[in-house]
Amino acid sequence: MYLAKIKVTYKPSVLDPQGEVIKSALHRLDYETVEQVIQGKYFEVRLSADSLAAANGLVESMTEALLINQNTETYNYTVEEVEA
Amino acid sequence: MYLAKIKVTYKPSVLDPQGEVIKSALHRLDYETVEQVIQGKYFEVRLSADSLAAANGLVESMTEALLINQNTETYNYTVEEVEA
C-alpha cells in the first residue's frame, strides 16, 4: 500500500485572491510580519500498486486527470510505502 | 524570512464527503486501486520573525486563530528559513 501526499497551488502567474484575503485578515489580527499567503488544496490518496514507480505514475496520471486544472494550477507530491 | 507550509485535514472522526466523491470519480476513471482519498487545505505563509522558534510559534498561533476550525480540523506544518 502506498500513501501519496499531493499539494496543489495556483501557478505563480495566477492571481490568488483567497491568499490575499487571508493575508489581510492576519494583518488585522496583528500578525503584521506576514508577507505572503498562498492558499491551495491538499490531498492524501491511499492506493495499491505493484511498485513505488508504478504508484508514482498512477499519482501523476490521476492528479492531472482529475485533481488539478492544468491551466491555472501546479502540484507537487510525495509517495511513501505504508502498511496496508 | 521564513516559509511555513501548513496542511489542514479533517480529524479522522469527521466525515470527508469531498474525499469520498473524489474516490468514486477516480474509480469511474479506472483508478480502481485507490482505497481512500482525503481532501484538505494547504497554505504557504511567508513571514519574518526573530528566530525559527519564534516563527514556529507565530505559525501555530495564526493557524489556530484563523486557518482551521479546531472542532473539525487538524493540521501539521513545517517552517524553513528562506532568502528574503
d(CA B40, CA A21): 19
- Facing residue for A33 by CB, picked from B35, B38, B48: B48
Read off the CATH number of the domain in which A71 is found. Answer: 3.30.1280.10
pLDDT tens digits for range A51-76: 999 999 999 999 999 999 999 999 99
Quote the ipTM score.
0.90
- Chain B nearest-CA distance from A43, in A, is 5
Give the residue ranges of DSSP H helices in chain B.
17-28, 52-62
**Closest Cα to residue A21, out of A13, A29, B73, B52?**
A29
pLDDT tens readout for residues B8-54: 999 999 999 999 999 999 999 999 999 999 999 999 999 999 999 99
Q: Reply yes or no on whether the pLDDT at A84 is more than 90.
A: no
Output the nine-digit C-alpha cell for A58: 498512477
**Given an 8 Å threshold on Cβ–Cβ distance, is B48 in contact with A35?**
yes
Of B65, B47, B51, B50, residue with least CA distance to B5: B47
With beta carbons less than 8 A apart as the criterion, state whether A65 and B49 touch. Answer: no
Q: Closest Cα to residue B75, out of B22, B9, B1, B4?
A: B9
Q: Into how many domains does chain A fold?
A: 1
Distance between CA atoms of residues B14 and A79, nearest Å: 24
Q: Name the residue range of residue A23's domain.
A: 2-81
